[in-house]
């Protein structure tokens, strides 16, 4: 078989495979550049023009493309010559021991021909359009270079091993080109500088490409097939078109949807740049250097991004800046880019998070891109570790807020970082008739006073207090009024009420008291945003496969996402964390086996109920309802309605986190007790986001109303 081969028989490489471009592949790519071929001379370096998809395409479309001339060189060994009785321009019969060149300047008005047509053979024979070459047709030979000099555009698929040589030759004579190659060629020292400087770019097809192979090709286990005609095929997953012909695609900007989060963009060990695993993950707001996969070049726009260099593994390219490793592990080569116009995601609210816990409140506020926690504080070291690991760029202060040195650190850091918002849930424990005597002076409410003292010192534009629902009703609202009076004395307008998490897309009926306090206007609490209730099934059905004591801290996902909520929770997570079931006692498992799906202790024999007084103990979650409030003992089978709807175990920390609306990329650290405390005490992030959205809407979007 002859034609345009990627790897020719031992002529240019030791690889004995011959791969030939399909007509449809040529047609598909060239269709994007039609007008650029008008009145141009096209050169196709071929093994044999009579079998070449390139020659065939340009002959068939000679008039449509308005070509001035088509030149096709062959390599010696063409099979068609002996069968066609073709003669060269000296009237000598051609044989397959010689290379030849085919030159066509006119095929007749309104004609469409193919090399297999009788017409073209007669045309070639009568008009002596086939000329014998002195050499073997190697594109590097002097006589082939003469044809290259004549041409305006070179279109071919050179041997991969000689791709750089042909490219350099084309560049030497400043020609236009459309070449098929291997994606590895992008990083060659002869080619990458042109890509970096915007003088070469990727065509439309980049990736999988199919090629015809000879009849004697041995079958392969992958990327090999035989079509209905008996033709054998192989494909490459890393093929590409490389060109300097202008195209519409290279002027389209890449649409970016992600924002920078250091948890998802690790830095390289030996170079100040972040690694971006997928093109669609390029952050819109990152100002530094980013390492992106080679596939990025399909979308590169010179006006949007600068190509800085590449990260390879020891190439001789002067722009190969470092070997890409992360935590000592080598990764595949990367293209290094910088965004010329990163989105200025202006942070309107810089937050101090007091009594921050694991960070549910801050994590949810961050889901509105205009909110950013810059300082956080908690007395519990375990909670602070989880907070810091999930929000690493926040300055976390661990210590007792009652200590003056801790208080001073909080104030100093908040003022330096221009904090204009404070959030937190200060414990208020003096809610009783007995406590009315002292009111907010009750020692049990001291932390609440400390919170308000910090508000007075820092003077934020807005602050948010969250607390238990009963705060509003205790002592017939007396404490609520005390708190409102204290807030108003500081010069803030306040709105207070109870928000139900399920009204904001959280699969849980948790209710919290929320105070939103602002200097300039009263900001109303957000209204429900969820169009429909998110259920336990929506939240955790994809995690329903573990039995008691099964699972690990880190594992692969076993089942696909089964709901939109699950897709949302899994969006930025490559692995599943904190999904480990409790090691229940045998008696606990026996009891659960007696409780049907979605039922509770009413199904147990009286002698097995024990002394538990509450109706909800030993309860199973109901698939098609939100979960009741997740508490800090959700992993105990006997504690409330925390058991799986049908599996004989309590819910895992990850299932509890899902029911709290923590997405799977949020990882909890610490002992079993520490983790369940972190999850059970947290503010659901989607509830926190609703609060952020409301504040932003009132103070920024509707400013002046």
How far apart CA 120 and CA 122 sit, in angstroms, is 5
C-alpha dist (Å) from residue 72 to 101, 122, 139? 6, 18, 11
Residue reference for tokens 């800090």: 632
- Which residues neighbour 695 within 8 Å (Cβ) at sequence distance 6 or greater? 349, 421, 462, 464, 516, 518, 523
How far apart CA 696 and CA 371 sit, in angstroms, is 9
Residue reference for tokens 């308000």: 452
Q: What is the SS3 assignment for 133-176?
A: CCCCCCCCCHHHHHHHHHCCEEEECCCHHHHHHHHHHHHHCCCE
Bridge partners, 214 (sequence order): none
How far apart CA 389 and CA 669 sit, in angstroms, is 9
No. of H helices and E strands in the chain? 19, 28
Contact 290, 307 (CB under 8 A): no
Bridge partners, 593 (sequence order): none
Helices (H), 380-471: 381-390, 404-416, 446-458
- Which residues neighbour 495 within 8 Å (Cβ) at sequence distance 6 or greater? 515, 516, 522, 523, 524, 525
Residue among 46, 356, 428, 517 flagged as catalytic: 428
Say whether 503 sits in a helix, a strand or coil. helix
Say whether 56 sits in a helix, a strand or coil. helix
- Which residues neighbour 300 within 8 Å (Cβ) at sequence distance 6 or greater? 201, 202, 250, 254, 307, 337
Closest CA to 161 of 315, 15, 26, 320: 15
How far apart CA 288 and CA 258 sit, in angstroms, is 15
Question: Buried (b) or exposed (e) across 136-146, using 16+ Cβ within 10 A?
Answer: ebbbebeebee
Q: Rounded to a whole number, what is the largest CA-CA distance in the chain? A: 121
Contact 82, 33 (CB under 8 A): no
Both tokens of 251, joined, read 């002027």
- Alpha-carbon dihedral sign for residues 148, 154, 299, 233: negative
How far apart CA 612 and CA 630 sit, in angstroms, is 19
Q: Rounded to an integer, what is the distance from CA 701 to the centroid of its chain? A: 29
Both tokens of 133, joined, read 């070459």
Is 428 an active-site residue? yes
Count CA atoms closer than 13 A to 226's CA, side-chain side: 10
Q: Is 671 exposed, middle or buried (0-12, 13-18, 19+ CB in 10 A)?
A: exposed
Going across the sheet that includes 289-292, the strands are 273-275, 289-292, 334-339, 305-311, 320-322
How far apart CA 671 and CA 90 sit, in angstroms, is 91
Question: Buried (b) or exposed (e) across 322-360, using 16+ Cβ within 10 A?
Answer: bbbbeeeeebebbbbbebeeeeeeeebbbbbbbbbbbbb
C-alpha dist (Å) from residue 212 to 14, 58, 154, 689? 19, 19, 22, 55
Contact 482, 441 (CB under 8 A): no
Bridge partners, 353 (sequence order): 376, 423
Integer-rounded Cα radius of gyration of the chain: 35
Residue reference for tokens 């047709």: 137
Active site residues: 428
């Amino acid at each position: 078989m002859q034609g345009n081969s990627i790897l020719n028989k031992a002529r240019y490489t030791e690889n004995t495979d011959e791969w030939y471009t399909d007509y449809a592949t040529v047609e598909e790519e060239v269709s994007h550049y039609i007008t650029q071929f008008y009145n141009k001379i096209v050169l196709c370096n071929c093994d044999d023009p009579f079998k070449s998809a390139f020659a065939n395409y340009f002959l068939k479309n000679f008039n449509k493309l308005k070509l001035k001339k088509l030149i096709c060189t062959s390599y010696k060994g063409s099979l068609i010559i002996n069968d066609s009785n073709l003669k060269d321009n000296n009237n000598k019969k051609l044989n397959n021991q010689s290379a030849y060149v085919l030159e066509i300047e006119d095929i007749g008005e309104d004609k469409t021909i193919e090399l297999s047509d009788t017409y073209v053979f007669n045309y070639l024979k009568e008009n002596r359009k086939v000329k014998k070459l002195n050499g073997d047709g190697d594109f590097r030979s002097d006589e082939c270079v003469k044809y290259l000099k004549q041409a305006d555009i070179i279109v071919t698929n050179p041997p991969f091993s000689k791709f750089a040589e042909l490219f350099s030759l084309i560049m030497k004579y400043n020609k236009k080109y459309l070449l098929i190659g291997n994606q590895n060629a992008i990083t060659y020292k002869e080619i990458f500088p042109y890509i970096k400087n915007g003088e070469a770019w990727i065509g439309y097809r980049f990736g999988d490409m199919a090629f015809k192979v000879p009849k004697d090709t041995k079958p392969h286990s992958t990327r090999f097939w035989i079509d209905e005609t008996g033709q054998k095929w192989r494909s490459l997953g890393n093929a590409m078109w490389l060109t300097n012909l202008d195209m519409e695609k290279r002027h389209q900007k890449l649409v970016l949807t992600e924002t920078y989060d250091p948890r998802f963009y690790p830095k390289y060990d030996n170079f100040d740049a972040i690694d971006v695993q997928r093109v669609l993950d390029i952050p819109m707001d990152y100002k530094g250097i980013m390492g992106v996969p080679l596939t990025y070049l399909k979308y590169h726009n010179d006006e949007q991004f600068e190509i800085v260099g590449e990260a390879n593994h020891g190439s001789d390219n002067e722009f190969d800046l470092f070997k890409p490793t992360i935590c000592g592990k080598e990764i595949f080569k990367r293209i290094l880019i910088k965004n010329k116009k990163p989105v200025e995601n202006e942070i309107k609210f810089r937050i101090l998070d007091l009594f921050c816990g694991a960070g549910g409140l801050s994590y949810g506020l961050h889901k509105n891109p205009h909110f950013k926690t810059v300082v956080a504080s908690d007395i519990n070291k375990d909670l602070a570790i989880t907070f810091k690991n999930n929000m690493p760029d926040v300055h976390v202060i661990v210590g007792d807020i009652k200590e003056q040195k801790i208080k001073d650190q909080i104030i100093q850091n908040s003022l330096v970082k221009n904090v204009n918002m404070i959030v937190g849930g200060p414990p208020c424990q003096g809610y009783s008739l007995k406590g009315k005597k002292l009111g907010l002076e009750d020692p049990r409410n001291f932390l609440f006073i400390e919170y308000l003292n910090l508000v007075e010192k820092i003077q934020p534009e807005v602050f948010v207090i969250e607390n238990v629902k009963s705060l509003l009703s205790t002592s017939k609202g007396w404490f609520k009024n005390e708190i409102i009076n204290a807030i108003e004395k500081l010069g803030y307008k306040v709105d207070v009420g109870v928000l139900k998490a399920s009204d904001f897309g959280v699969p849980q009926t948790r209710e919290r008291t929320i105070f939103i306090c602002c200097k300039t206007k009263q900001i109303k609490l957000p209204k429900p945003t969820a169009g429909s209730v998110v259920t336990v099934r929506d939240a955790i059905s994809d995690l329903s496969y573990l039995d008691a004591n099964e699972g690990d801290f880190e594992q692969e996902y076993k089942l696909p996402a089964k709901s939109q909520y699950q897709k949302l929770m899994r969006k930025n997570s490559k692995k599943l964390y904190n999904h480990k079931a409790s090691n229940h006692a045998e008696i606990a498992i026996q009891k659960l086996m007696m409780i049907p799906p979605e039922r509770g202790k009413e199904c147990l024999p009286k002698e097995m109920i024990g002394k538990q007084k509450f109706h909800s103990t030993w309860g199973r979650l109901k698939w098609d309802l939100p979960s009741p409030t997740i508490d800090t003992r959700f992993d105990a089978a006997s504690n409330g309605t925390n058991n799986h709807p049908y599996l004989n175990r309590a819910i895992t920390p990850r299932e509890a986190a899902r029911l709290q609306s923590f997405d799977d990329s949020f990882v909890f650290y610490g002992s079993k007790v520490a983790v369940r405390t972190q999850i059970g005490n947290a503010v659901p992030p989607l509830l926190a986001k609703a609060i952020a959205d409301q504040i932003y809407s009132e103070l920024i979007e509707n400013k002046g109303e």
